[in-house]
Chain A
Amino acid sequence: SQQGEEDPQALSIQEGENATMNCSYKTSINNLQWYRQNSGRGLVHLILIRSNEREKHSGRLRVTLDTSKKSSSLLITASRAADTASYFCATGGTSYGKLTFGQGTILTVHP
């Protein structure tokens, strides 16, 4: 089964609103990453949070990690139509290991 499970599966918002996506995982992790995928093409790495970190910011992105609940959230503030994409959390990836993806959230931002 997939390591990460995400909710919601789909999110539709208006431009300027904030978007929050959640990810849960099952086993211990070294880090958790978030990726964006536009129109079924390649994935773009957004942000990585280590297991000893609780919150991390990058531009309009804010990621939190709660290892006691085995969950993470991605907040995109002041969303734009260009943020429309699928967002995946991913765990693992230590050294040359496996990077396992959650089911993903499809975000649609209406202009």
Chain B
Amino acid sequence: DTEVTQTPKHLVMGMTNKKSLKCEQHMGHRAMYWYKQKAKKPPELMFVYSYEKLSINESVPSRFSPECPNSSLLNLHLHALQPEDSALYLCASSEPGRTHYGYTFGSGTRLTVV
């Protein structure tokens, strides 16, 4: 079982819909991440939160809006997406000073925009 839980596992949404992806971790990690992965490509970083504050935004379009309500939760709000935004969205967490454990990833949300 993964220690980072993402919901939903699959999501189909229209271009005018508003939806949210959710991520939860119970490891006490103080950094959380959103990655986007297209088919047969590596994950690409979207956002980094550290101590519940946004520290990195990789020039992501504003139709993606991250939110960190508390140290265990990370949301990604979606609005007016395009079909090219269809991808696997991965959440991850990590704890500084324990880098030998690497990052812990969730199983992802497979998003299809129609």
Contacts and interface: CB of A to CB of B under 8 A. Distances in A.
Interface residues of B, number: 32
B102 A40 contact: no
Contact of A98 (B4, B30, B48, B106): B48
A97 B96 CA distance: 10
Contact of B102 (A45, A95, A102): A45
A45 B108 CA distance: 15
B90 interface: yes
A45 B45 contact: no
Contacts of A2: 42
A41 B108 contact: yes
B42 A93 contact: no
A104 B42 contact: yes
A43 B43 contact: yes
Contact of A40 (B39, B104, B105): B39
Given A48-B101, A96-B30, A101-B42, 10 more contacts: A33-B102, A40-B88, A40-B108, A42-B2, A42-B4, A44-B105, A45-B103, A88-B43, A99-B92, A100-B45
Interface of A: 2, 31, 33, 35, 40-45, 48, 88, 93-104
Give the top 3 A-B pairs by smallest Cβ distance, nearest first.
A45-B102, A101-B42, A96-B50
9 contacts: A33-B102, A35-B102, A40-B88, A41-B107, A45-B105, A95-B96, A96-B94, A99-B45, A103-B41
